[in-house]
Amino acid sequence: MEEYNKIKEATAYIQSKVDLVPVYGIVLGTGLGALVDDIEVVAELSYEDIPHFPISTVEFHTGKLIFGLLGGKPVVTMKGRFHYYEGYTMKEVTFPIRVMKLLGIKKLLISNAAGALNPDFAKSDLMILEDHINLQTENPLVGRNLNDLGDRFPDMSEPYDLTLIDRARRIAVQHQTRVHVGVYVGVNGPNLETRAEYKMLRILGADAVGMSTVPETIVARQMSLPVFAISVLTDLCYPGHIEKVKIQDIIAAAEKAEPAMTEIMRELITQDEL
Q: Are 27 and 95 in contact (CB under 8 A)?
A: no
* CA gap 61, 123 in Å, rounded: 23
Q: How far is the CB of 41 from ligand HPA (least distance, A)?
A: 28
Rounded Cα gap, residues 149 and 98, in angstroms:
8
Q: Helix, strand, or coil here: 115? A: strand
Q: Is 267 in the site for ligand HPA (CB under 6 A)?
A: no
92, 193, 216, 258: which one binds ligand HPA (CB under 6 A): 193
- Segment lying near ligand HPA (by CB under 6 A), choices 67-75, 78-86, 175-183, 208-216: 208-216
Piece of the chain touching ligand HPA by CB under 6 A; list 62-70, 113-121, 126-134, 255-263: 113-121
Residue 31 binding ligand HPA, by CB under 6 A: no
Q: Identify residues 230-249 at the interface with ligand HPA (CB under 6 A).
A: 234-235, 237
Sign of the C-alpha dihedral computed for residues 54, 220, 207 and 171 taken in this order: negative
Farthest-apart Cα atoms in the chain, separation: 55
258 membership: H or E segment, kind and range = helix 247-271
Considering the rule CB under 6 A, would residue 113 count as an interface residue with ligand HPA?
A: yes
Q: How far, CA to CA in Å, does 57 sit from each of 88, 110, 267?
A: 10, 20, 31
- Sign of the CA dihedral 4, 10, 13, 17? negative
> What residues form DSSP beta bridges with 65?
45, 78
Nearer to ligand HPA, 113 or 229 (CB): 113
Given candidates 114, 171, 223, 229, which one binds ligand HPA under the rule CB under 6 A? 114
Residues in the chain: 274
Q: Nearest distance from residue 79's CB to ligand HPA, in Å?
A: 19
54, 115, 182, 215: which one contacts ligand HPA (CB under 6 A)? 115
The residue sitting closest to ligand HPA, measured at its beta carbon, is 115
Residue 209 in contact with ligand HPA, rule: CB under 6 A: yes
Closer Cβ to ligand HPA, 102 or 257, answer by number: 257
CB 126 within 8 A of CB 29: no
Question: CA angle at residue 152 from 150 to 158, to 5 degrees?
Answer: 70
> Judged by CB, which is closer to ligand HPA: 78, or 116?
116
Q: Does 211 bind ligand HPA (CB under 6 A)?
A: yes
Work out how close the CB of 259 gets to ligand HPA at its nearest, in angstroms, rounded to a whole number: 19
Residue with smaller CB distance to ligand HPA, 68 or 210: 210
- Name which position in 25, 68, 210, 215 contacts ligand HPA (CB under 6 A): 210
210 CB contacts (<8 Å, ≥6 apart)? 112, 113, 114, 115, 184, 185, 186, 187, 231
Question: CB of 63: closest distance to ligand HPA in angstroms?
Answer: 20
- In angstroms, the CA 24 to CA 7 distance is 18
From the CB of 197, what's the least distance to ligand HPA, in Å?
9
- Residues that bind ligand HPA in the complex, under the rule CB under 6 A: 113-115, 187, 192-193, 209-211, 234-235, 237, 250
